[in-house]
Amino acid sequence: MKIAIYPGSFDPITNGHADIVKRAACVFDKVIVAVSVNSQKTSLFSIEERIELAKTVFSDYENVQVDTFTGLLVDYAQKVGAKTIIKGLRAVSDFEYEFQMAHMNKKLYPEVETMFMMSNQRYSYLSSSIVKEVGKLGGDLTGLVPEQIIDVIYKRLRRKS
């Protein structure tokens, strides 16, 4: 079985993330959306909440599973039997950081391959951070985040501001 992991902080999951997962689900037998902590970011939603949001978005996708991990991504990959890490690339600016991580992950676990998928052009400007910024300032998030979770995001942003 070909298992791929799509790791990220997903705070919250955007239409850009969802698009990558749905396309990857057509290529792999199983895609694990692995929600984790990025120590360089402060989060709007707890890990548990982010998992719930992702589960809501992918509930109709039989070969998409949502999980979480702590520690090294490569250790998690070994634990779940995944040999592929999927990353989305929006623009050249993403490349440098992803390039470094891909090489480090390969060094730590030589059997793992990082596969980059180009973000859908429609979502190439999207990030969780920009979504939070727009929502916080009262902008419309329609088309930026999955419809099923838009109200939860508005509510949380309103509570925080």
Do 34 and 76 touch, CB atoms closer than 8 A?
yes
Tokens of 25: 């689900």
CA dihedral of 15, 20, 21, 24, whole degrees rounded to 10: 160
Q: Mark whether 41 is an active-site residue.
A: yes
Q: Does 119 bind ligand PNS (CB under 6 A)?
A: no
With contacts defined by CB under 6 A, name the span among 19-27, 100-108, 110-118, 151-159 that binds ligand PNS.
100-108
Q: Mark whether 128 is an active-site residue.
A: yes
DSSP H stretches of helix in 32-127: 47-57, 73-80, 92-108
Q: How far is the CB of 29 from ligand PNS (least distance, A)?
A: 22
Q: Which is nearer to ligand PNS, 104 or 150 (CB)?
A: 104
Which uninterrupted H or E stretch holds 135? helix 128-136
- Contact pick of 3, 104, 134, 152 for ligand PNS (by CB under 6 A): 104
Residues in touch with ligand PNS (CB under 6 A):
7-9, 36, 38, 41, 72-73, 101, 104-105
